[in-house]
Every structure is written in C-alpha cells, then in structure tokens.
Amino acid sequence: MFIRSERLFLRPGWPEDWAELFDLIDDEAVVRHLARAPWPYRAEDARAFAARAQDGHHPHFFVTLPGAEGAQLIGCVGLMPDEHGPAGAPPLLGYWIARSHWGRGFATEAARALLSLAATLGHRRVAARHFLDNPASGRVLAKLGFRSTGEIRPGASLARDGVAPTLGYALDLDPPGNCDRDRRIAA
C-alpha cells in the first residue's frame, strides 16, 4: 500500500532503508517518546524494523518527503494492535518524525492520511497514547480530532527502561463512503 498526501508520500519500508532510518531515529529526543524503540538505538534495530513484514489490518509506513533529489525519509506512522488493552480494543496510532522536521505539520499530515486508510480497512475507532512529558504529541492528536479519554496509565518504554505516565485518546472514524448506497435510479 502507498498513500499520497498533500506534501508527503507514505510507503512500506524496505530492507535497504535501514541506514537512512538509523540516521534519523538515532536521536534520544525522538526515541524516548516511543514505546517500542530501545535506547541506544542500534543498527540492528533499524535493520529489523525496515525489514518488518506488513500487516494488512495494522499497516505501518515510512513517511517520505518528495523532492527534486528523490523522496527523503522523515519518519514513520502506523497502526498497531493494543497489546495491553481489552479484547477487541481499537488499534493504536503511532508516529514519529525526525527532529530536523519537527514543527512543520508532517506528523499531523501523515497521521491524517493513515486515518483515511484505517476507515477503509474497517476500523471504526482508533486510539492513541502519549507520554505526559510529550505535549507536542497531544497537540498533533487534537488537530486530528482525537479526544482525550482522561485515562492516565503507565506506559512501557524501552528507551526509558521502564514505565512513564501516558494519556489516552480516541477517535471515532466515519465509515468509508459507498458510492452505490445512495444512488437513485431515475425511471
């Protein structure tokens, strides 16, 4: 799957992307806000992530910024099962953008594009969490229409080597349009 937004191109990762990925995510300011990325982040971690198989119901994408010199990798966005939620819990939205691209709306744009796909895949609700010491992520979620659930719970963080408080959010998605559903046939 590929997704084109106004400024970005979202695509699957390929094994040969590992070095570019490693250069971007080897930044403690980025990794400390992610649940599943270890710190220090190693080349082996980048190789494993870049080669990770795609899940049709919980896709993940490399976020690239097309330009005259080709498409530059700037981050990642994806849906993942909520391993700590109840059975049937909505998928979790996850994203990160390289520090050199912060503050330009790329996280919001990439996540919005992925949320359009989420509805098409049959998801009716998407959840998200952010560490309390990362209010910028909360602002991204608010721009996307997520509402705080008010639930604060410990969130595991490999980079923090433990847990830290997280705030929960949820977004109800509109079902995808069906061009045949409302069609009226003139007699």
Asked if the structure places residue 140 within a domain, the reply is yes
Q: Is residue 37 part of a domain?
A: yes
> For residue 120, what is the domain's CATH number?
3.40.630.30
Q: Is the residue at 186 inside a domain? A: no
Q: Is residue 133 part of a domain?
A: yes
Structural domain harbouring 69: 3-172
68 assigned to some structural domain: yes
Residue with tokens 């819990």: 89
**Residue 44 dihedral angles phi and psi, to the nearest 5°:** -65, -35
**Nearest by Cα to 74 from 11, 137, 166:** 11
β-pair partners for 37: none
User: What single-letter DSSP state applies at residue 30?
Assistant: H
Residue 185, pLDDT score: 40
Residues 128-150, mean pLDDT to the nearest whole number:
97
- Residues 13-33 as b/e (b if ≥16 CB within 10 A, e otherwise) read beeebbebbbebbbeeebbbb
Q: Looking at the predicted structure, is the pLDDT value of residue 183 above 50?
A: no
Helices (H) and strands (E) in the chain, counts: 5, 8
Structure token digits, residue 80: 């993942």
Measure the CA–CA gap between 171 and 127, rounded to whole angstroms.
Answer: 6
pTM: 0.90
Percent of the residues in the chain that have a pLDDT greater than 70, as a whole number: 94
Q: What percent of the chain has pLDDT over 90?
A: 82
Evaluate if residue 144 carries a pLDDT over 70: yes
What does the block give as tokens for 70? Answer: 């080709």
Residue 48 falls within a domain, yes or no? yes
Q: Is residue 180 part of a domain?
A: no
- Domain count of the chain? 1
**Is 184 a domain residue?**
no
Predicted confidence (pLDDT) per residue in 41-82, tens digit: 999 999 999 999 999 999 999 999 999 988 999 999 999 998
